[in-house]
Chain A
């Protein structure tokens, strides 16, 4: 094994490669994501930028499917009700799994799961419902196992779903934000973002029986407009590849007030607002 590899190290990092390009045939390197090896040579398997961390070589493509980590906060849509579990679309390679034993049963967290619960799974989550959950672990085949064992998680209502690129939603301490305009935003790390009417936390806790209710609160026209405006702001941040955090959404919202909600979807207004947001974010940093 050669000790002095400095010139070669400078060569391979930050190269742009296409699938099938040979990166290195030095056996000292380990291969990471986005590569495969054949006969001691490491080849790239995606079109992207080569990254090297010490001895690990990987290739990062522009677009990547969301792959969950334990502890990720995500928003998912129920696709199937199966025996003692739900299958949830989490924008990943495989559907996630929400086990019946991983949800809060109405009537208090301490209640034991009964047989009638198993037979009435659709009274909790039915196909098409949106769920706010956390990744607990992985199954053997790599599917995510989710749980909603906390009062802040559970079924989502009173709002609308916006999809964004998963890379644009950074992992942070809190993924549930209340904006000053009376709108709640749930930033799922998998790119699914829920924008809804603000419901005070006290009201949620008071109605422990209604955590699986499908009935929306009454939403006034002004609240609907605010929700639509925030949703369009998130959509334009997504189109122009700006990181989606509560700060960037608030900046975009404030800058968007001069335009009508519909105008936010046009290209010119979107570019102008995104540049405005990026400038303010840089100022802040």
Chain B
């Protein structure tokens, strides 16, 4: 976003920033197995912590639930406010709103402080993936707001999947009624081979990416996003594999929630 709007509130870095030029060439992502030595169908290790944003001081503005989620190098944090008074006073069902923001330092180039259309689009994606899992008819006239911040990003589809998982953990932390936790996973197509949970370098080297968000106990897919061109058989196969990966991620989230309750 290199418009000539001067942001006078902050001490700004240069308007345009470029990565430094390295003398050694960056390694080819798929030359000899994957760069971090994972199997082709292996998801990056996950770390979850719920409740990091609980009230530490006298503030009444603390979120009802929060979660911090890491998957490999991806770091995402989510705060849930609600259920609280909604804006429409005649609504039969509660409303779920999502707000998504990349921190300016989260990608390998500097992002703007102002929300871009990309972030607004991802916010709608997150809403569509997670809203089916919430029992909104139990919260008439109330609104549930999720605020997601990406602290570090590594692979666009993988970061969106991480955001969905983070929101699921935060909703469970807030005690909001759900049909099921939503678990999401991403894949990318490299040549003829689908590779699970790709990092940014691997995604740049691939031709297509797929994101699946799923409720495993209900065995329902809530969101499906594909970027790129494939044959129907390839997509079919990918959805199956990705759905299995989602179940694995779901198991991690559930195990963590059970451990915190003990």
What is A's interface to B at a CB cutoff of 8 Å?
16-22, 34, 36, 43, 45-49, 61-65, 79, 87, 89, 93-95, 141-143, 160-163, 192, 231, 235, 238-239, 265
Contact = CB atoms under 8 A, between A and B. Distances in A.
A163 B60 contact: yes
Interface string B220-254: 00000000000000000000000000000000011
B155 interface: no
In the A-B complex, the 4 residue pairs with the closest CB atoms = A20-B180, A20-B217, A61-B175, A19-B178
Contact of A63 (B65, B83, B142): B65
Interface of B: 55-60, 62, 64-65, 82-85, 133, 135, 138-142, 172-181, 215-218, 253-254, 257-258, 260-262
A94 B141 contact: yes
Given A17-B258, A141-B140, A231-B58, 10 more contacts: A19-B172, A19-B177, A20-B180, A21-B217, A45-B135, A45-B138, A65-B64, A93-B84, A163-B55, A238-B55
B175 A162 contact: no
A20 B59 contact: no
A79 B215 CA distance: 38
Nearest to A143: B141
B178 A65 contact: no
Given A61-B175, A63-B65, A47 B261 contact: yes
B95 to A, nearest CB: 12
A281 B140 CA distance: 40
B60 A141 contact: no
B58 A160 contact: yes
Contacts of A64: 175
Given A63-B173, A162-B58, A20 B178 contact: yes
Contacts of A143: 141
A22 B260 CA distance: 20
A19 B175 contact: no
Contacts of B173: 47, 62-63
Contacts of B142: 93-94
B140 A18 contact: no
A48 B174 contact: no
Contacts of B215: 20
B261 A16 contact: yes
B53 to A, nearest CB: 12
A61 B138 CA distance: 16
A45 B141 contact: no
A43 B181 CA distance: 12
Contacts of A63: 64-65, 173-175
